[in-house]
Amino acid sequence: MMAKKSILVVEDEDDIRELLRYNLAKEGYQVTGSASGEEALKAVRVSLPDLVLLDLMLPGMDGLEVCRSLKQDPLTRNLPIVMLTAKGEEADIVSGLELGADDYITKPFSVRVLLARLRAVLRRRSAAPLLETAPITIHELEIHPGRHEVLVQGHSVDLTATEFSLLNLLARRPGWVFTRSQIVNEIHGDDYSVTERAVDVQMVSLRKKLGPCGKYLETVRGIGYRFKD
């Protein structure tokens, strides 16, 4: 039998924290709760959880500061963080993702969706890291980094080096949201320096070239892009 995964819920609103605790426990997780950022930082040092579900709006130390602090400490740097956010907090979501948070869920959330997202983060974390050069097949797309080739439903499509890097980056981590600045940092354009605005332009062209598979490249409004899981 697998050991129960543990989740620390950081949320100052008691009813939401209890709702989360109840549903996560029912799903088989071992759950602890903290009502403030300061309390959460102490709690992870007492017992390191497998994942932190972190509300961004906290009294005192806010969620972004908690995230930054966890990512700066070698002990907790690799701890997966899923942010709980409110509508209209896109700027904070972008900051959190750039600090290293794994995902975010916007309130009000459906418990079913929340559980699926947490499972996905835990699954990605326990999966062996994909070799960047290994070919992958996802939906009706095949990507062969060694040959720099992409097949859509078995037919080869002609991509520029930058478009190829963009697709390879996103498709290797389906479901992950990448901010524009993360994309700029990850892909180095061969022909010219890639800017955040250029990412949008490349994305339009890439979608067009991928034809029926273009729809898997999703725009996440105000945040960035992700490849459909």
Q: Which residues bind Ca ion (CB under 5 A)?
A: 12, 55, 57
Q: Could you tell me how many helices (H) and strands (E) the chain has, helices first? A: 8, 12
Provide the minimum distance between the beta carbon of 56 and Ca ion in the complex, in angstroms, as a whole number. Answer: 8
In this structure, the number of other CB atoms found within 10 A of the CB of residue 135 comes to 13
Of residues 23 and 181, the one with the C-beta less far from Ca ion: 23
Of residues 93 and 166, the one with the C-beta less far from Ca ion: 93
Of residues 55 and 163, the one with the C-beta less far from Ca ion: 55
How many CA atoms lie less than 13 Å away from 74 in the CB half-sphere?
0
Of residues 12 and 149, the one with the C-beta less far from Ca ion: 12
Strand duo 141-144 + 136-138: pairing: antiparallel
Bridge-partner residues for 103, per DSSP? Answer: 82
Provide the minimum distance between the beta carbon of 55 and Ca ion in the complex, in angstroms, as a whole number. Answer: 4
Provide the minimum distance between the beta carbon of 34 and Ca ion in the complex, in angstroms, as a whole number. Answer: 12
- Residue number with the shortest CB distance to Ca ion? 57
Provide the minimum distance between the beta carbon of 12 and Ca ion in the complex, in angstroms, as a whole number. Answer: 5
Assess contact for 226 and 176: CB atoms under 8 A: yes
Provide the minimum distance between the beta carbon of 176 and Ca ion in the complex, in angstroms, as a whole number. Answer: 25
Report DSSP state, residue 85. E
Of residues 44 and 54, the one with the C-beta less far from Ca ion: 54
Closest CA to 196 of 94, 93, 81: 94
Question: How far is it, in rounded angstroms, from Cα 17 to Cα 22?
Answer: 9
